Amino acid sequence: MAGHPWVRRGYSAALLALSPLVWRRVWKESLPGRSRAERLGRIVGSPEGAHSLWLHCASVGEVQAARPLIEALARRHPDHRLVITTMTATGAERAHAVAERLQGEAHTAEVSHHFVPLDFPGAARRFLDRLRPDLAIFFETELWPNLLAGCERRGIPVAVVNGRLSPRAFQGYRRLGRLMAEALSHVSWLGAKSEADAERFRALGMAAEKAEVTGSLKFDLDRDDKAFEVSERLRTGFGRRPVWVAGSTHEGEDEALLEAHARLRERYSEALLILVPRHPRRFEAAAELCRHEGMPLARRSRDEAVTCEMAVYLGDTMGELSALYGAGDAAFVGGSLVPIGGHNLLEPAAMGVPVLTGPELANFTDVAEALRERQALVDVDDAATLAEALTRLLGDAAERERLAAAGRAVVEANRGALARTLEGLERLL
């Protein structure tokens, strides 16, 4: 289907007109030694005749969620090169960490990373002409019209996996109805997280016969023995004091978390908060906020000792969130007290830690519902209710164990999305 190419031409013209603003936004998203020319599609691609699979993830959270798929593709297709692209530098760092994890294994594909080109027509053309993947895989809601159209022109099948559209995202995309219909006309297969997500994609123009519900890849988490080992070392170092974790936190949320921690310490004076901001650029601001609130802190990046005087342990490193979750007696998942839409509730659940969340969960409604069905999720509304819930949980070992067991059971019961996704991708290959 050609869709409405004239709509895409208008989109391209608007994008080019806004290019100074776009370029300014991505200028900061770089890594030492990496050319910003990658943003214009100028990459060192596959050698002539080499086969490759291309997987695009937006940022660090998507790379982490896609890790089971990345590992499965690398093991299933050792004769291909697996190329991961991201929009952000933190996503790039996480992709490199996943690649390093696979390097020690025999009979796996080479895994590399590039920054995704901006969706200018010329940049998309240069990138695809150089890479020439056998299959393009877009993760969740990454729909770039010129890249999608360029794939179809070159006979490259396109899959959207773990496809999700929150009600808010759907309303935004619906305002771009014809452009989205044109973009989706180039998608060969959609594996949606839920029937509600699949229905939203169909409402935007996705062909019904090309869409199926595969479930969420976030449930297909492998046991990470290294993370458990780090968790155990941390717990031993903390001693017998109560510990809770606040992971993937955002600006405007840390203040409420520190208020809850101050209330908690009125009951448990030795309580320790492991605070893990979502974005590295906020590490310094979070440290300064702790000091401003009179919370002595130790920083993981500096390997500072967590003495009994410390109230906060700042998790200012990358790729360690699971291990830090595992070191707590309870875990609050951020992005849920501010209108972000939440983050992965399953990460602490898979580590066997009781999970708490705020009300803003637009991006994880399916996961939250699965946890609530098993009474494996503690909902809070603000600093006061979070402090009350933590006070109750830290004084009730039996309830913590029940929540932990229920959370692990939810993860196990909902596995299977990876197998269904791989089956769909194999049909395209």
Active site amino acids: 62
CA angle 262-288-292, nearest 5°?
Answer: 45
Do 386 and 380 touch, CB atoms closer than 8 A? yes
C-alpha–C-alpha distance, residues 370 and 346, integer Å: 10
Do 247 and 325 touch, CB atoms closer than 8 A? yes
Residue that has been written with the tokens 């839409």 in this structure? 341
Do 321 and 315 touch, CB atoms closer than 8 A? yes
Q: How far, CA to CA in Å, does 125 sit from each of 41, 145, 394? A: 7, 12, 56
Buried b (16+ CB within 10 A) or exposed e, 194-213: bebbbbbbbebbbeeebbbb
User: What is the full DSSP assignment across 364-388?
Assistant: GHHHHHHHHHTT-EEE--SHHHHHH
The residues near 254 (Cβ < 8 Å, ≥ 6 apart) are 246, 275, 277, 286, 289
Residue 370: exposure state from Cβ atoms within 10 A (0-12, 13-18, ≥19): buried
Do 214 and 176 touch, CB atoms closer than 8 A? no
- Please report the sign of the dihedral spanned by the C-alpha atoms of residue 90, residue 315, residue 335, residue 376: positive
Q: Dihedrals φ, ψ of 338, to 5°?
A: -125, 160
Tokens (6 digits) for 157: 């099948």
C-alpha–C-alpha distance, residues 117 and 200, integer Å: 27
- Please report the sign of the dihedral spanned by the C-alpha atoms of residue 276, residue 300, residue 403, residue 352: positive
